[in-house]
Structure 1
């Protein structure tokens, strides 16, 4: 038996995550097992800076440097042998994103790669997603982040089409901007790419859909219905921000973004005519670890 320690760092628009995993292999590396050793989430909301001001603030830059110093120490303590860190839309779109990535590397030795939506989707596809997909069914995979939403259509076990939309939970909190065009583009694209599919099923990923699934009390592997998602959206909207924290036990940085996230998933279900959504609890950090192991980065 061989045990390898790998780590993935996901610098998102709403939070930053570190996942440390044990990769256990037997029989010359066949069928490796990936076991989570540690998961740390730091609520640094870079999207608020980028999507309103266009740059990451000095305060959040310093918080990021401290977070990466902490992640470096944790990786050392866990004996991590290899890691990969990537940043998505908030840091990628910030005018000072590259400059901050360089400064973080100089101060901590942690190299952050700024990736686009296509790269993000390909990393997520390194997870167990293809184990869920059945060859004789059609799926609409929707990954909702703080800055963007990645949508991929699967049919007969293959990717038919994929697109990244500049609509995310943190971005939608900016009430000064209209997202009418993006909503319309997403509706047209989903409708056009799913109209010939037979009973498509949604697969959702992201912190918010994981939380919605947890609140449902459903058993892992069971789907949520369109009717449930619609009712949950109305229920969440009628609660105040404080009530979502006290009654639903949500973190403050989850309590505001969960409503726009639910709207995105619900809209995707409506436009694709999907009656149910599966929540396999996969994410970018999981994909990073698997991509690292298989040398796909």
Structure 2
């Protein structure tokens, strides 16, 4: 029986908090990453952070209880590596750091509040970049509740940018026209000299959109099909999106803003279709931990030192 290496990651986003339990197997074609379990808790921290400027006590308590529950699951899973990261809602909240310290004191879980560039870099870790040839051209877009991260790979190099345009911000009318113009200019400036751009999308919304579009391969969706989904969904009320379209309550209201963002990015980048491999920030965290683990094993082996044992869930690895 082949034994895989286990890793766990917590992604504290603006719309939901996710726990990913993953296992990595070594194969002749490289590491194979398999999701064992993905648990999602819809707390919507961004609703407080972006409107009030701070996270309310109610949502802070819900986050604490969620981390306590996730910590117990991680302890039972016994991973080789464990990491917890928070994105735009926590980093922009006036009391984000205070909440982070409180959770650390109560649970032992050291949450890393990462900036937009680190978030983009982590999401970018989701694919076998080392196998991309220098003449490959890729655009990676991740749409969250508080921000949109875009990374472009061309000529063997990458350039990333995080934009304060997210589904919750759009829902609450918190995105200024100048921000749209900024993203449009940046995308066009970095893609106008490129041709044959392949695109990859990540985030819970694009995964739902591709399912709604009923794409034959289940992994790639064209601009035209995304537009059809948008034209179909817009005729349903919030309640009908839940009862008739089967969307979760915290997905039913942000689906339209997400469609607008993805369609805008594709239009400005001249992209006809986008691949949806069903990956996100937590998957990138697992891949980075795996690479760090392999590097550490090689170094310890060459140095003749003892390989460390499995870390406690309270000892979060730092990125």
TM-score by length of 1: 0.92
Change (3 A) 1:184 1:284: same
- State the match for 2:35 in structure 1: 36
Say if 2:194 is the partner of 1:193.
no
- State the match for 2:167 in structure 1: 169
- State the match for 2:56 in structure 1: 57
When structure 1 is superposed on structure 2, of 213-222 and 272-281 the one drifting more is 213-222
- State the match for 2:93 in structure 1: 94
Using the TM superposition, give the Cα deviation of residue 135 of structure 1 relative to its aligned residue in structure 2, in angstroms: 4.9
Using the TM superposition, give the Cα deviation of residue 178 of structure 1 relative to its aligned residue in structure 2, in angstroms: 4.7
Structure 1: segments with no counterpart, 5+ residues? none
**2:85, 2:114 within 8 Å by CA — same for their partners in 1?**
yes
**2:164, 2:175 within 8 Å by CA — same for their partners in 1?**
no
CA RMSD between the two structures: 2.0
Q: Provide the rounded CA distance (Å) in 1 between the counterparts of 2:144 and 2:194.
A: 26
Say if 2:4 is the partner of 1:6.
no
Q: SS in structure 1 opposite 2:292? A: coil
Q: Provide the rounded CA distance (Å) in 1 between the counterparts of 2:98 and 2:82.
A: 21
Task: Summarize deviations over 1:65-104 as a string: whole Å, max 9, x none.
Answer: 1001100111112223320000000001101000000101
**2:86, 2:113 within 8 Å by CA — same for their partners in 1?**
yes
Extract structure 1 runs of 4+ deviating beyond 4 A.
Answer: 131-135
Aligned residues: 293
Q: 1:282 aligns with which of 279, 283, 286?
A: 279
**1:55, 1:97 within 8 Å by CA — same for their partners in 2?**
yes
Using the TM superposition, give the Cα deviation of residue 127 of structure 1 relative to its aligned residue in structure 2, in angstroms: 1.4
**1:3, 1:23 within 8 Å by CA — same for their partners in 2?**
yes
- State the match for 1:75 in structure 2: 74
Structure 2: segments with no counterpart, 5+ residues? 294-318
Change (3 A) 1:219 1:51: same
The within-5 A match list for 1:203-214 is 203-214=200-211
Q: Provide the rounded CA distance (Å) in 2 between the counterparts of 1:3 and 1:275.
A: 37
The within-5 A match list for 1:247-258 is 247-258=244-255
Task: Summarize deviations over 1:90-136 as a string: whole Å, max 9, x none.
Answer: 00110100000010111111110000111111111221253896654
- State the match for 2:152 in structure 1: 153
Using the TM superposition, give the Cα deviation of residue 26 of structure 1 relative to its aligned residue in structure 2, in angstroms: 6.9
Change (3 A) 1:225 1:23: closer
Q: Provide the rounded CA distance (Å) in 1 between the counterparts of 2:105 and 2:199.
A: 42
- State the match for 2:176 in structure 1: 179
